Amino acid sequence: MKNKLIAASILSANFTCLGKEINDVLKAGANIIHFDVMDNNYVPNLSIGPLVLKSLRENNINCQIDVHIMAKNIDNLIISFIKLGVNSIIIHPESSLHLDKSISLIRKYGCKAGLALNPSTSLNCLDYLIHKLDLILVMSVNPGFEGQKFLDYIYKKIIQIKKIINKQKRNILLEVDGGININNIKKIAISGADVFVIGSAIFKNKLPYNKIIKNLKLESNYFFKK
């Protein structure tokens, strides 16, 4: 059983010292930096884009970057992020007029392709795309804002998707994003998650980052190390 991974969502970080925040959370044990891109169109919020990542790259932030695009007209954004050397790009079925084409565009340049499913998004789209996916992101909140509470009915969805992945016998990571904290991460892991996108529970916590992440990793891996 592979170890579980922590993806630190910088949407909750202090943007006045973003580079330092990223370096600190990586030194504390985060495996991935999760980069949320919002356009105030697909979701009712505006966040960051390629220019911010370009600045980070130019200042020696060379870690693994997981880009989650919550926007419309995404193909140009995909190209912009690929040029910045990101590791994976995650898009939503509703955000592309031609979803298969957008997924193929990500893979064309050697980047890992992910599909994000909102709480109410049907799993039917996986029937036609799962063979092109490297990861599936389950949204456990409605996308757009940090600090939301995990929706309890999403446990069932995580379990369902894990069964689909196992049945297909594909090496696809199952990622969960939204409302994850020390109190629910073990149950999310047991349900089938491989990667945990965590923002507020890390960046808004009073404890040092290394202690928070250590505790989260212990909880997420506990069931599998018995």
- The residue written with tokens 């105030």 in the block is 40
Q: Which of 24, 36, 75, 152 is catalytic?
A: 36
Given 39, 66, 134, 177, the catalytic residue = 177
Helix axes 75-82, 99-108, angle to 10 degrees: 10
Has 177 been annotated as catalytic?
Answer: yes
The SS3 of residue 101 is helix
Nearest to residue 12, comparing CAs of 109, 106, 137, 147? 147
User: For residue 54, what are the CA distances in angstroms to 7, 12, 99, 102, 222?
Assistant: 20, 19, 26, 22, 37
36 is catalytic: yes
Distance CA 139, CA 148 (A): 11
**8 Å CB contact between 68 and 90:** yes
Residues forming beta bridges with residue 98, ordered by sequence position: none
- Residue 6 parent element (H or E): strand 5-9
> What does the alpha-carbon distance between residue 15 and residue 38 come to, in Å, rounded to a whole number?
16
CA–CA dist 162, 184 (Å, integer): 18
Collapsing DSSP to helix, strand or coil, 39 comes out as: strand
Task: Copy the structure tokens of residue 50.
Answer: 């390629």
Q: Which residues are catalytic?
A: 36, 177
